[in-house]
Structure 1
């Protein structure tokens, strides 16, 4: 189906049965809480950033990775392409359009709590379709543990657990095959995990820009100019 039909299908699924949505934030943004924020950016890009879920800024902007963490990611892309940092919003948005940005669930949960495994499972088929049928790339940079673990279902638990126990997991890469159950579609992708760029993540927050640059330099030629 087309991307427009995919988004409409997510919308219908959200209305089918209740699940936690931060309705106050959607109301303040003047948005239908069931309207998904499925992705932003370039479906033809080699690179996808895959995060946990939306925050308040993302709901208002209708874009994943738009808030503080998103600005770090967008600035990192700009630095890779142009060799200098920026706070200019137009330049940050231009950087975001060089990649695909998406989340485990295209909605904002109440508070800052991750969605349950059941909610992630419910919306998984739509993310699978986005990644397999619409996105043309094969390099996925995950942000945080929850985003990386979303892909565990496509690898054996032993492989996924052993990889994430590695001390060099934020430099190493893991090749997996996204193969939805009951579907003939499949795609080999490379997972390149990073820690979540939150100030609360004191162990990694200050080195996140360097870790991000190491990832992006490997795919710099595919980002264009």
Structure 2
């Protein structure tokens, strides 16, 4: 089973490298930051489940291949796992839509970083996004969602490790571990609370930059591009 475990770990590292590390190295915005230039909790959650599940599938497939199994993808993905992905992805889409609406309707109250100057620490994703306390006060809805997500990810990883250890031959891997329905309900309730927490619109202007300033910088860059003539070689 060592082959399966190593393939799982290597796959997870490759995904993180491609999605987070390489974009940062080449000056691009990594997938964990949103259109405001801030670390996004919903993006982190989707990324966490993507890394765990996709790398686990890759590890199992490679383990079956190394064991001489012809049908390397002949294992089952439980319905609860698909629902888990659906809840996480759906929550991310809805959260993104709410952010777009807020950034469009009241950009002067939404915290954001200037284009090309994205900063802030990773834990800033747990703070309030709007109003005078943006970036300084912990958002309770975000905090509970983050804690529950971390707990469930660790539980599922532990469950997967136990399931793999219980199989003597990688060729006998029947499928991904089943995700508890009770934990699935807990995850759904947590995400519902997280999304409801995004609805209120705190008053005030955030310190350190707003979405209005970020949008203004985009307009300025576009105007400069129109003014500066294109230089063509002979």
TM-score, with length taken from structure 2: 0.28
| Bigger proportion of residues as strand | 1
More contact order relative to length (CA 8 Å, sep ≥ 6): 2
Considering fraction of residues, name the structure with more helix.
2
